[in-house]
């Protein structure tokens, strides 16, 4: 049994390091994704304006560039979803209790009760009581927490570009 302890410690260190890496990668993806989405939106607006003004331009190469940006956005969003799902599984560990999982995510994401209550649009005091009292039960808060956790769990959703 004592031979398993060093291996378990190594695994825990690896899992923690992986979680830190995933969080950093998510933070690095956000600005790129936002910029690409802005570029896509600006290019689409320009395309519509040029068409409206009946200005001649190489529509095919412009459309190809737009498709390329859209494809890159989809790829980055897919990576982001995969990272979030993996991060969720690491943080979730062996717990099935959404209260415990959201507390772990709060700790990892460095969210305090105030920030979480704003994110979930829930009264801070009610949220505090709910999370810190194992007997507390509130369907509305639990639903909001499950919705928050689903942002990490659901890897099948995608952003649709118009």
pLDDT one-digit tens code per residue, 85-139: 888 788 777 777 777 878 887 887 788 888 888 888 888 888 888 888 776 677 8
Helical spans, DSSP H, in the chain = 4-52, 59-92, 98-109, 113-120, 124-132, 139-153
Q: What is the pLDDT of residue 156?
A: 46
- Structure tokens given for 23: 């969080």
Q: What is the pLDDT of residue 162?
A: 36
- What are the residue ranges of CATH 1.10.260 in the chain? 94-162
Is pLDDT larger for residue 7 or for residue 65? 65
Q: How far apart are CA 127 and CA 110, in angstroms?
A: 16
Q: How far apart are CA 15 and CA 23, in angstroms?
A: 12
User: Is residue 65 helix, strand or coil?
Assistant: helix
Q: What is the pLDDT of residue 161?
A: 39
- The residues near 80 (Cβ < 8 Å, ≥ 6 apart) are 26, 29, 33
User: pLDDT band at 152, cuts 50/70/90?
Assistant: confident
Instruction: Please state which CATH number belongs to domain 94-162.
Output: 1.10.260
């Amino acid at each position: 049994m004592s031979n398993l302890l060093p291996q378990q410690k190594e695994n825990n260190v690896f899992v923690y390091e992986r979680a830190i890496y995933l969080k950093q990668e998510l933070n690095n993806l956000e600005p790129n994704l936002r910029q690409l989405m802005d570029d896509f939106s600006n290019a689409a607006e320009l395309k519509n304006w040029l068409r409206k003004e009946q200005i001649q331009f190489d529509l095919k190469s412009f459309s190809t560039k737009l498709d390329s940006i859209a494809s890159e956005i989809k790829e980055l969003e897919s990576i982001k979803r995969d990272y979030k799902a993996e991060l969720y599984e690491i943080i979730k560990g062996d717990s099935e209790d959404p209260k415990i999982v959201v507390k772990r995510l709060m700790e990892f994401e460095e969210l305090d009760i105030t920030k979480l209550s704003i994110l979930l649009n829930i009264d801070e005091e009610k949220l505090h009581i709910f999370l810190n009292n194992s007997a507390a039960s509130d369907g509305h808060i639990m639903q909001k927490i499950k919705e928050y956790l689903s942002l990490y769990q659901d890897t099948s959703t995608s952003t649709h570009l118009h």
